[in-house]
Amino acid sequence: MKKYCVAVVGAMGAVGREMLKTLEQRGFPVSEIRPLDIEANAGKKVLYEGREATVGVAAKGAFVDVDIALFSAGADASLVLAPIAAAEGAVVVDNSSQWRMDPEVPLVVPEVNPDALDGHKGIIANPNCSTIQMLVALKPIHDAYKIKRIVVATYQAVSGTGAAAIAELAAQAEQFAKGEPMTAKVYPRQILFNALPHIDVFLDNGYTKEEMKMVNETHKILDPAISVSPTAVRIPVFRGHSEAINIETERPMDLADVRRLLAAAPGVKVVDDPAKLAYPTALDADGKDEVFVGRLRLDPTVPNGLNMWVVGDNLRKGAALNAVQIAEVLARKGLEPKAR
């Protein structure tokens, strides 16, 4: 079996660590793992396959002999480092927003548009976490019935903001338990016991950048003709994004057929039995690879309407797993490891 030198940029972050874990759990054929991060983290150790690997500095020269570089270091770092890595011969799979809407860069969900990888120029973009799980669930329905409109409200975990947000939610819970005033630094308001309809910056059109990511990425990945109306909300959950999705299709849907399509779709798990109170929650998705779908019901208020509830692990399928799956597709398509 061919094996590959794999770099993980941002290896000390939440998504970087999940990338390392996912590579190991899925048995990706790694000849050498190369964890990279900022200079302050250089020399620290990460575990991979039971052995310690030393964290290096993500900089020019660090990608020599690297076959695949999985990036989770933020847009600013990716803007500088991804072209360097590609120039040094690595295929970059970038988890930031930097390259997603670049017309020269494929934006890929392997269950949805793997053929977009053909002809890549060395940099591949990982979509936004909320977009990924939505499109994994909607792809089989779109293929069969052609979706024309999506209305989606997201309920997103604090881990989507990063380690500081996870710590802030935990600290607020501790402060509440002690009867102390709750402090908020990462978010503009207290997140504990709250829901903030505000993810990323507000734009001139009144939507947030997070919401417009879902619009633009759906157009690039699935179909530019679909109308998308999103509302993105942050909730006090550590891990796992949930989405309430309403769709309208061109053709009338048969609910039993929709269930069959979803049950057979790659990466989807249907959990939908109201009589048994069976529906997916963020805790059910924690650490899981699948996108979970439930609360399937026809919408009688519009022609050809359907409501659904979609849950996924934002660090897993929403980030690390999707990147690793892209690497797996590249390997199947014949990415040649560099001669050593």
Indicate which residues carry an active-site annotation: 129, 241
CB 184 within 8 A of CB 190: yes
Predicted confidence at residue 336, as pLDDT, reads 73
List per-residue pLDDT tens for the chain, 340 residues long: 799 999 999 999 999 999 999 999 999 999 999 999 999 999 999 999 999 999 999 999 999 999 999 999 999 999 999 999 999 999 999 999 999 999 999 999 999 999 999 989 999 999 999 999 999 999 999 999 999 999 999 999 999 999 899 999 999 999 999 999 999 999 999 999 999 999 999 999 999 999 999 999 999 999 999 999 999 999 999 999 999 999 999 999 999 999 999 999 999 999 999 999 999 999 999 999 999 999 999 999 999 999 999 999 999 999 999 999 999 999 999 887 665 4
State the burial class of residue 330 (Cβ atoms within 10 Å of its Cβ: 0-12, 13-18, 19+): buried
State the burial class of residue 134 (Cβ atoms within 10 Å of its Cβ: 0-12, 13-18, 19+): buried
Identity of the residue numbered 229: S
Q: In what order do the strands lie in the sheet with 291-299?
A: 227-234, 147-156, 241-249, 305-312, 291-299, 268-270
Predicted confidence at residue 340, as pLDDT, reads 44
CB 162 within 8 A of CB 14: yes
Predicted confidence at residue 335, as pLDDT, reads 82
Predicted confidence at residue 338, as pLDDT, reads 67
Predicted confidence at residue 158, as pLDDT, reads 98
Q: Which domains does the chain have, with CATH numbers?
A: 4-126+319-332 (3.40.50.720), 131-314 (3.30.360.10)
Cα end-to-end distance, the chain, whole Å: 16
Half-sphere exposure of 77 (CA within 13 A, CB side): 19
Predicted confidence at residue 339, as pLDDT, reads 52
Mean pLDDT of the chain: 96
CB 173 within 8 A of CB 167: no
| pLDDT tens-place string over residues 251-291 | 999 999 999 999 999 999 999 999 999 999 999 999 999 99
- The CA-CA-CA angle for residues 97, 103, 104, to 5°, reads 95
| pLDDT tens-place string over residues 126-151 | 999 999 999 999 999 999 999 999 99
How far apart are alpha carbons 140 and 138 in whole angstroms?
6
- Report the relative pairing of strands 147-156 and 227-234 from DSSP bridges: parallel
